[in-house]
């Protein structure tokens, strides 16, 4: 992949957000908050950080990407389409009968999808298996795995982290979407995670905390991870749930519903939610332009 400039990456993240809203409006189901808040991370990974080839998805020397938080699949699909893995027109088939764009990613359904995911935490174990196998093969490829912070309630995550730390899988980078929400509330109310950094350090991880909407910081963190050879790395990406759509931002109520599906307290009428969301993302694009003029 050709690496985009910082300005281009910001535009690409905005395009991904627009794709997500349009997909969800067409499907009338799916998750909003997580996909929107991870657009900057995915833009950085697929258009700057990772080695991959949309024209040769099974390229042996590619980096591997695992989406453990499978419910935020819309951001993965939008990113893959923007990267050229399949036509963007197909995004409108999300969650429809006969689609390749399932509610959770399914290996083999689309080029560029490395694993099937759905049950939370299983992707963490899949990622460490890939990293260990690549190291045994003396491969220079890396594994990137995105998890949600609510997902960290699952014990399987911590078994995987313990294994990764013990085996010093330096070719493995976890990225935690630290948006502080999960399906039924705020993480620190449901099952407190803090001190999260200390927990990962106790599991022998190199820990980096970044603003998950600062593309430059995300790239720098991934480059730092590549320079660590004695342990795996976790990047805790502090994000705003529903980023880019004002009435969704920071609200757990938008974890698992699309715009237009139902009336939500404090949000516009459901008939107006989709239109307003698209307008706000277009406004965000204008703000990006202003930053670079």
SS3 103: coil
Q: What is the pLDDT of residue 283?
A: 85
Distance CA 76, CA 169 (A): 24
Q: What is the pLDDT of residue 86?
A: 98
Superfamily of domain 6-291: Thiamin diphosphate (ThDP)-binding fold, Pyr/PP domains (3.40.50.970)
Is-contact 144 111, C-beta < 8 A? no
- Tokens 């938008």 appear where? 254
Q: How confident is the model at residue 128 (pLDDT cuts 50, 70, 90)?
A: very high
pLDDT digits (tens, 9 = 90+) for 65-117: 999 999 999 999 999 999 999 999 999 999 999 999 999 999 999 999 999 99
């Amino acid at each position: 992949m050709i690496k985009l400039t910082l300005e281009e990456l910001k535009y690409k993240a905005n395009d991904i957000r627009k794709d997500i809203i349009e997909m969800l409006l067409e499907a009338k189901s799916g998750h909003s908050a997580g996909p929107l808040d991870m657009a900057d991370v995915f833009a950085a990974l697929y258009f700057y950080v990772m080695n991959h080839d949309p024209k040769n998805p099974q390229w042996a020397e590619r980096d591997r990407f695992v989406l453990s938080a499978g419910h935020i699949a819309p951001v993965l699909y939008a990113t893959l389409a923007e990267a050229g893995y399949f036509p963007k027109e197909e995004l409108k088939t999300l969650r429809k009968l006969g689609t390749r764009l399932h509610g959770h990613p399914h290996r083999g359904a689309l080029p560029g999808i490395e694993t099937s995911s759905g049950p939370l935490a299983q992707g963490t174990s899949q990622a460490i298996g890939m990293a260990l196998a690549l190291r045994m093969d003396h491969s220079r490829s890396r594994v990137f795995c995105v998890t949600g912070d609510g997902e960290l309630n699952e014990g399987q995550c911590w078994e995987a982290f313990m294994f990764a730390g013990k085996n010093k899988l330096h070719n493995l980078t976890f990225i935690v979407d630290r948006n502080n929400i999960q399906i039924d509330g705020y993480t620190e109310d449901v099952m407190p995670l803090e001190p999260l950094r200390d927990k990962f350090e106790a599991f022998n991880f190199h820990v980096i905390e970044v603003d998950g909407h600062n593309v430059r910081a995300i790239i720098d963190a991934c480059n730092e991870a590549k320079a660590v050879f004695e342990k795996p790395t976790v990047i805790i990406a502090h994000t705003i749930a529903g980023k880019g759509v004002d009435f969704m931002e920071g609200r757990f109520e938008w974890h698992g519903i699309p715009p237009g599906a139902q009336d939500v307290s404090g949000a516009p009428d459901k008939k107006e939610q989709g239109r307003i969301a698209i307008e706000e993302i277009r406004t965000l694009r204008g703000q990006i332009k202003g930053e670079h003029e």
